[in-house]
Structure 1
């Protein structure tokens, strides 16, 4: 009878991991639709190609070497196709607290859950460099980002290793439950390095410093993408509990889902209200980014706040993302989808508010973790971008940018019926 309980526990936690991983994988569709909606129609095919290709590259490179760097042990050489049932049951039986202890689940489910996080981090980069970067330059960077840069900082945080043997972030009271810093700030740092070298889109900024809006082609798609991301975030945060099959952890998963939803709603309301104060219009793009900002903000610790506090954390993220997007334009950092603000600035904010709700954390530890992630990812990415720029170039020609990268990079248009021959 006891073995049956343990087998059910193993099956439940493995299945829960797989379902949450599938939700996170679905976020790839959200990023693709959001970015396709916020770029101009002449650049839609290329942004979709980037999103589907980067997901495939991330899955492959993390299998080849990323997982080993992050967690150690040669995953794809370890006989993962088999499971030792007796060993698993023995691990359960050896516990003093029985099945209510830490998670025991299939190693294959763990890899699947981790690999979709890598793809999420890389997806952040694609929108920020949209409409003027060479497709193959972007994909070359994706190889290095998903194989080395992200796994290395992941090994210092979720992997529990010391940073180059100098200090351990866990000992400093650093907490990043599901990746406000490890995933989102990291993706934004890589994007920022690329955008600085790439420069702004032609016509975005005038000769006298004026800022010219470049509207996206399809706001229904952008809205759909936001809702897909919102839904996928339940797997992103909920799966990071790492366990479902007992009363305490089941309640924790439910609380994480509740707080995740509350923060997204708060973020959208905050951005919508502040956008109205600034523009006297209900700015849909700011509202969408506000929802995403709320999600990013709560991701560092969705398991500890009361739901109303989670709403306020999200609300603060929504306010911050509007201010950040406006500031990025002031300093001429051209980010077509607001990714650096949503995932970077608000990712930092999410890390820094953790000590207000989570015991055992410290502001110093959160700041140290944020700086470690940013300095490593930004510095390593800048070097990689520079190498790619030197060897192949980063930016399409001015004529190609004017015509749109769909034709020049992919040889087809997303909306051919709009073309007159």
Structure 2
């Protein structure tokens, strides 16, 4: 076996394994969100995750991948690669297009899962299916093409987003914000005088396990984005990922102890996730020290962002906007500040951060790209839900919401506490 064949085989194994790690993150999303919401809505969370994986994968295969990674001439949208067919010769990687699609498919499933948590406990299941089609078929693929597609216009002007702080997390976070505002708060979440009522999580140990699974999968998310098993930056990427997550959680512990006099468990869970989100754009390009600072900053600001959203009467049950939208924005801008010259040599001439004498150009490009992506996600989500509402209700009925979506929509509770056996004939009547 020659070296080229061996290298291609190793890269294929690496990308498939890291894609599987990212897909496992759906289990993390399921446990995290099910733990954060009330018991009567746990099944609805699981069902939405299955929509993400099933409909998301299929729609991305039929149209999303072509829009995102197909050949184009204007930098806006691809027009080849639908169902992995047509001209894809411009994708010159050491892996097959099938392998590349699998990895990208794992990413698109993660994006829609961000929005899922923000509309938990009140979105209609059919409406969620239609929105998943819009996100995985159009909203994310077009934004992804601008930054990651060959010839994408934001890529051409020099935007850097290694594994998706902007393309995945800021986009998903601002889409989640639009969806949460559009659909409105849960019944009883806010009083008439604007006070926010606490909705206790149903199972914090379950949520914490979900967070640990997400943390594990994030090593595939970031390190896997090298798309090469022989890339020597894999170790550094894994270290910055770990340090930023740790700093986000530790910072959140200390900040909530100072602010609330007690370490707040849901906030601490989200603090570590915020650190992971924040480092995703620059994990390959920043130093260990910068990674710690980014994670610390994301963990603290996430708390403040959560409080701000509550003060504005926006109901986001799992903190999707604060974790993904805000931290993704911080991480995207951080590249323009902390990117080291020796770590960005392969990206382009002069592409390094402000603190290393790189000037304002990279930070300006990062800011421009971030604003465009956030506005795109927000407006397209709002527009999509507006169109869906013309066809079917976007929100469940009041009775369904009070009973719980598990029984009201799916006809089954998450936990059977009253019966050892059920009469199928009675259930079918």
8 A contact 2:278–2:331 mirrored in 1: yes
Cα distance change, pair 198–327 in 1 and its aligned pair in 2 (3 A): same
Paired residues of 1:14 and 1:109 also in contact (CA < 8 A) = yes
Q: Which residue of 2 aligns with 1:32?
A: 30
Aligned-pair CA distance for 1:255: 0.5
| CA distance in structure 2 between the aligned counterparts of 1:329 and 1:76, rounded to whole angstroms | 43
Query: Residues of 2 paired with 1:79 and 1:151: CA distance?
Result: 17
| Structure 1 partner of 2:159 | 174
Match of 2:83 in 1: 76
Whole-Å Cα distance in 2 between the matches of residues 180 and 109 of structure 1? 23
Segments of 5+ residues of structure 2 without an aligned counterpart are 71-79, 342-350, 353-361, 423-429
Query: Equivalent residue of 1:329, what SS?
Result: helix
Work out the CA distance in 2 between the residues paired with 1:194 and 1:393: 14
| Residue equivalent to 1:151 | 141
Structure 1 unaligned runs (5+)? 81-86, 92-101, 163-167
From 9, 12, 20, give the equivalent of 1:11: 9
**Which of 302-311 and 263-272 deviates more?**
302-311
Q: Distance in 1 between matches of 2:62 and 2:155?
A: 27
Query: In 1, are the aligned partners of 2:61 and 2:84 still within 8 Å (CA)?
Result: no
Instruction: Say whether the 8 Å CA contact 1:189–1:377 is kept in structure 2.
Output: yes
Q: TM-score, normalised by structure 1?
A: 0.89
Q: Show the counterpart of 1:415.
A: 415
Equivalent residues, number: 391
**Cα shift at 1:281:** 1.1
Match in the other structure for 1:125? 115
CA contact (8 A) 1:186 1:374 kept: yes
In 1, the alpha carbon distance for the partners of 2:31 and 2:414 equals 13
Q: Tell me the C-alpha RMSD between the 2 structures.
A: 2.0
Match of 1:315 in 2: 296
Q: How far, CA to CA, are the matches of 1:277 and 1:413 in structure 2?
A: 39
Q: Is the 8 A contact 1:103 1:243 kept in 2?
A: no
- C-alpha distance in 1, partners of 2:33/2:228? 33
TM-score (norm 2): 0.88
1:189 aligns with 2:201: no
Alignment of 1:298-377 (within 5 A): 298-358=279-339, 359=341, 360=351, 362-377=362-377
Return the offset for 1:160.
3.7
1:245-256 mapped onto 2 (5 Å cutoff): 245=230, 249=231, 251-256=232-237
What SS does the aligned partner of 1:388 have? helix
- Relative contact order (alpha carbons < 8 A, sep ≥ 6): 1 or 2 greater? 1
Q: Is the 8 Å Cα contact of residues 55 and 132 (structure 2) preserved in structure 1?
A: yes
Does the CA contact (< 8 Å) of 2:174 and 2:321 recur in 1?
Answer: yes
The Cα offsets for residues 127-174 of structure 1, whole Å up to 9 and x where unpaired, read as 000001111111110011101111011111100444xxxxx2224331
